[in-house]
Amino acid sequence: MNIPKSLEMQNRAMLRIPGMTQLLSKRPDMFSSGVWPGYYSRAKGVEIWDLDGNRYIDMSIAGIGANILGYTDPDVDAAVIEAIQNGNSSSLNCMEEVELADLLCEIHPWAEMARFARTGGESMAIAVRIARAYTGRDKIAFCGYHGWHDWYLSANLGTENALGEHLLTGLNPTGVPKGLTGTAIPFRYNHLEELQAIVEKNRKDIAAIIMEPIRNVQPQPGFLEGVRALADEIGAVFIIDEISAAFRMNSGGAHLVFGILPDVAVFSKALGNGYPIAAVIGKSQVMETAQSTFISSTMWTERIGPTAALATIKKHKSVDAGKHLMTIGKQVQDGWARLAKKNGLNINIGGIPPLSHFSFEYDNALTMKALFVQLMLDFGFLASTLFYAMYAHKTEHVEQYLHAVDEVFATISDANQTGDLEKRLKGKPASAGFKRLT
């Protein structure tokens, strides 16, 4: 692939935008700097065109999980266009947010009220504020990644890299008030004993226990129930972060699949098929506390977000998208396993099928990842060690993709044996986590 315009835009962006982009996961260095196009001009279904007119099938991160149905979904876009034509913003509120509150509480019958925002991290900050206001306590016990806000990054204050165990390494809490030290305490998924130890020490201070329902591995029997019971025991708010997990396996929160009921659940990403919308839903007793503190923002009232969410959920349900996403994700995971074995490569596969990932189990894994990205681009695929399924993915896309993966795994295996992996790279090895861009 020839990408001069894309590379020029990256260089231009680097001079004007610290870190080049607003999202770590869309930085070219997370794939392979020099070969990853980084910018798009158009996207439709599962196809993306870069600035140089190259067309790719996207078998990578699906807008990092936002575009659950596919790009420019005709039904969601039609609803959004109508909303724009009728006025996206005015001095009065839009009724779509009331309809969305009703619909989310209908899908999650344990919840009675909802607040809306536009991004995942900010909606988690809202949930944390509500929990702190409700309990009058400060500390948060959490597991997993929940965004960029002070409450979360403070976990790395005074520690080497407490968050390194929770999706992203290298997050520096510079700029986060030192006074927050010790207020966010991490525990690992399926390690109930770690949460028990935190609860033992901080029983009267914990406002909330926060976790994703599932991410990389299945919950062990009793783990989710144990977390629920500990929250009840100490009177903490149990918050389930559904920002990534929801709408992958079913048309709602993944906690419904596991039969575990939180006090508050938080949604974003897939909720609007790429249009900004986030929801905090919960029991009215807890949610009402939002009125005793101040949680308010102009752009949370615009109309596109809730309109897109209503259309996305409606379509998701009517086509049973969760079932399709599970099938597609499983096909990809099975294909990775079969082709790695065939080509003598040692890889580790994880994630629920619609949010799949694999890692090369070698010391030079990041060089291998970059070579995988580079060679898949040559076959016309945007691909990485993550695969997020979209409803627009069909079995034939997976078949074409796995055909290319077979050839690419063979080349990587060969390069690994001959020891010239590095030499075959046109770009740079992938970055592992957050690092300063030069």
Ligand X SMILES: Cc1ncc(COP(=O)(O)O)c(C=O)c1O
Q: Verify binding: residue 268, ligand X, rule CB under 6 A.
A: yes
From the CB of 84, what's the least distance to ligand X, in Å? Answer: 22
Taking the least distance from each CB to ligand X, the nearer of 5 and 26 is 26
Size, binding site for ligand X by CB under 6 A: 13
Q: List beta partners, residue 209.
A: 141, 238
With CB under 6 A as the contact rule, which of the stretches 140-148, 190-198, 232-240, 354-362 interacts with ligand X? 140-148
Does 186 bind ligand X (CB under 6 A)? Our answer is: no
Question: In whole angstroms, how close is the CB of 10 to ligand X at the nearest point?
Answer: 21
DSSP lists the bridge partners of residue 237 as 208
Q: Please, which residue, 25 or 196, has the CB nearer to ligand X?
A: 25
Q: Scanning the structure block, which residue is given the tokens 């090895």?
A: 429
Piece of 88-96, 114-122, 253-261, 301-309 that binds ligand X (CB under 6 A): 114-122
Q: Minimum Å distance from CB 266 to ligand X? A: 7
Q: How far is CA 371 from CA 139, 174, 259, 387, 413, in A?
A: 43, 33, 41, 16, 11
Residue 29 vs 212, nearer CB to ligand X? 212
Cα–Cα distance measured from residue 157 to residue 177, given in angstroms and rounded to the nearest whole number: 9
Closer by beta carbon to ligand X, 244 or else 416: 244
In the DSSP assignment, the letter for residue 251 is S
Residue 147 binds ligand X (CB under 6 A): yes
Give the N- to C-terminal CA distance of the chain in Å, as an integer. 25
Nearer to ligand X, 372 or 388 (CB): 388
3-class secondary structure, 248: coil
Q: Are 386 and 60 in contact (CB under 8 A)?
A: yes
- Extract the tokens encoding 358: 């694999």
CA distance 310 to 275: 11
Write down the least CB distance from residue 192 to ligand X, Å: 20
Residue 129 near ligand X by CB under 6 A: no
Is 358 one of the binding residues for ligand X (CB under 6 A)? no
Rule CB under 6 A: choose which of 6, 244, 367, 384 binds ligand X: 244
Site for ligand X contains 70 (CB under 6 A): no
If one asks whether residue 262 binds ligand X (CB under 6 A), the answer comes out as: no
Binds ligand X by CB under 6 A, chosen from 31, 116, 134, 145: 145
10 Å Cβ neighbour count for 394?
14
The tally of CA atoms less than 13 A away on the side-chain side of residue 411 is: 20
Q: One-letter amino acid identity for 434?
A: F
Cα distance between residue 294 and residue 272, in whole Å:
25
Residue 124 binds to ligand X (criterion: CB under 6 A): yes
Piece of 76-84, 119-127, 298-306, 388-396 that binds ligand X (CB under 6 A): 119-127
Tell me the Cα Rg of the chain: 22
> Within 10 A of 116 (CB to CB), how many other CB atoms are there?
24
Contacting positions for ligand X (CB under 6 A): 119-121, 124, 144-147, 212, 241, 243-244, 268
